[in-house]
Amino acid sequence: MTTAGSERASVRLRYLGRPVAQALRADLLGRSTGAGEGVTEAPERLLIAVPHGRLIGSVLLQMVSWRLLPLALGPALTLVGQQNGHRATVGIGIGIFVWFAILLIHAVWQRISSQWEFTVTDSPDGLRVRHGLLSTTRQTVPPGRVQAILIHQPPLWRPFGWVQVRMNVAGYGNTDSSKRTMLIPVADRAFAESLVGWLLGGVDLRDIPLTRPPRRAALRAPLWWRAQLAGADERIFVARHGLFSRTTDVVPHERTQSLRLTAGPYERALGLASVHLDSTPGPVRTRAAHRDAAEAREMLDRQIERARSARLLVTATSAPAPQAG
């Protein structure tokens, strides 16, 4: 059981029989949602089940690509050693190849086995996430605990239109592994964006007006300034960044923990500043980078007001209705 503000499970019960563990879990979830004690597990609706072939292909594309260079170093040294008759160089080349091949196989196997049979379902208790081949995990994220969402697309996934969705969850600290913050390991972009919009209460990410930094931001980030987009509507703040590996950060206004305005010496000389939206610890770190200083200040002030209004609205809607006098 994990509580908000803690980085690890505050209560952990081991060696329970599966029926006892499932009954205890259902009872605790029922109490937390107000359904009372002794309730059975609530029904669920399947949202996505990641196909095995897509999972394997995405892991290979994501993990093998940037490891090919050290893996190719071994055969290159072996070839040089054979041509020059240096047995020591041949042995070193073979050793390097075997070592990096073992590391690569282990990394790929670990990622695939941990995300095998990855399914996400919806229930009155919240989102239920299941995955694992040898060691299985079943995780429930209660409603309202998702603080921010990240949609990430590595460069080799772009031809297939695949993305990955991760989240910041209240109570999951920096020490938690990426398995607990993973919402979808791989999915089509259109489906991922629709799921994120539904999860945040029915928003459409494509309708958010996004703007770029001014042209002089090219002096600060020559290649990436055009890929730095940010904008907001009445419900969420969205930031997109990345030239080759594209990322979209989404933060509901009421979940904003704090806001910061930063400007380094180079940015101040160019009249630029960056706006940061702080969330709970996790993979999502949102900022609108290299904005005009006046625009950044206005964006910060407007976001403060949006966050305040959103929190007041949530408090008003969650307060109990007054009884008739």
Domain boundary among 102, 125, 143: 143
Which residue range is the domain that position 68 belongs to?
48-143
My answer on whether 200 and 266 are in the same domain is yes
My answer on whether 274 and 163 are in the same domain is yes
My answer on whether 251 and 166 are in the same domain is yes
Tokens representing 223 are 């290649």
Q: In terms of Cα–Cα distance, which of 232, 250, 241, 248 is closest to 304?
A: 232
Structural domain contains residue 28: no
My answer on whether 53 and 77 are in the same domain is yes
10-residue mean pLDDT profile of the chain (325 residues): values are 60 85 80 65 86 94 71 67 70 76 85 93 88 88 86 93 92 62 94 92 90 93 91 93 92 92 93 93 91 95 92 64 38
My answer on whether 265 and 229 are in the same domain is yes
Own/partner pairs for 208-213, CB < 8 Å, 24+ apart?
Answer: 208/232, 208/233, 208/236, 208/238, 209/233, 210/238, 210/240, 213/272, 213/289, 213/290, 213/291, 213/292
Q: Report the C-alpha gap between 151 and 249 in whole angstroms.
A: 7
How much is the pLDDT for 325? 34
My answer on whether 183 and 294 are in the same domain is yes
83 dihedral zone (left: phi>0; alpha: psi -120 to 50; beta)? alpha
My answer on whether 160 and 240 are in the same domain is yes
Dmax of the chain from CA atoms? 98
How many domains does the chain contain in total? 2
My answer on whether 240 and 292 are in the same domain is yes
Question: In the chain, where does DSSP find H-type helix?
Answer: 18-32, 52-64, 68-84, 87-115, 178-181, 189-199, 265-270, 293-318
Domain boundary among 143, 178, 209: 143
How much is the pLDDT for 323? 40
My answer on whether 126 and 162 are in the same domain is no
Structural domain contains residue 53: yes
Structural domain contains residue 325: no
Structural domain contains residue 42: no
How much is the pLDDT for 99? 76
My answer on whether 199 and 138 are in the same domain is no
How much is the pLDDT for 160? 94
My answer on whether 124 and 156 are in the same domain is no
How much is the pLDDT for 187? 95
Domain boundary among 124, 143, 162: 143
126 dihedral zone (left: phi>0; alpha: psi -120 to 50; beta)? left
